[in-house]
Amino acid sequence: MTDWERCVAFHGHECGGLTIGYQAARYAKELLELTFSDDEEVVCITENDACGVDAIQVMLGCSVGKGNLLFHIRGKQAFSFYNRKNGKSVRLVLKPRPENMTRQESFAYYQGHEPKELFEVKPATIPLPEKARLFESYPCDCCGEITGANWLRLSGGRKLCLDCFESYDRFSI
């Protein structure tokens, strides 16, 4: 099975959006000397939550669960990639495509071009995030649900999860 076929199998269908992520992952592999990430050797910060992110998961082994796929949602087809082994990083930003294309034409356009023709290569602007941490967990004193310590708040001597905690903001109207 080819990398593209694996991406389609994971995503569920072929589309232009999946192709964007596939091409970004191919380009990042080339530019940063990346291989599939077994742990957190490769990090991707994506500026969207669209179809292409699925291809990045398949191609590079970045995932939310491993802590090496992070979302910095800006509504852009832009992806920052980091190689922890060699310290290299890059931000790939999709160039505009010709206007007035149908979905089929758009798909063919992204499939028919090399990654270097599709993306602007820029320096990564977000510093490489630290590796994922493990946190102690405690039950919320209100709802009883187990919550990571980093997401608990103290209120009146009680540990409360973010859903049960009433925030205090003197500037809210």
Handedness of CA 64, 77, 93, 32 (dihedral sign): positive
Q: Which of 4, 28, 24 is nearest to 15 (CA)?
A: 4
Residue 173 pLDDT grade (very low, low, confident, very high; cuts 50, 70, 90): low
pLDDT of residue 154: 94
CATH class of 3-122: alpha beta
Q: What is the overall mean pLDDT for the chain?
A: 95
171 has a pLDDT exceeding 90: no
- pLDDT above 70 as % of the chain: 99
Task: Give the contacts of 30 (CB within 8 A, at least 6 positions apart).
Answer: 115
DSSP H/E element including 105: helix 103-112
Residue 172 pLDDT grade (very low, low, confident, very high; cuts 50, 70, 90): low
Per-residue pLDDT reduced to its tens digit, 122-157 = 999 999 999 988 899 999 999 999 999 999 999 999
Where do you find CATH 3.30.1330.130 in the chain?
Answer: 3-122
Place of tokens 């995503």: 11
Per-residue pLDDT reduced to its tens digit, 80-116 = 999 999 999 999 999 999 999 999 999 999 999 999 9
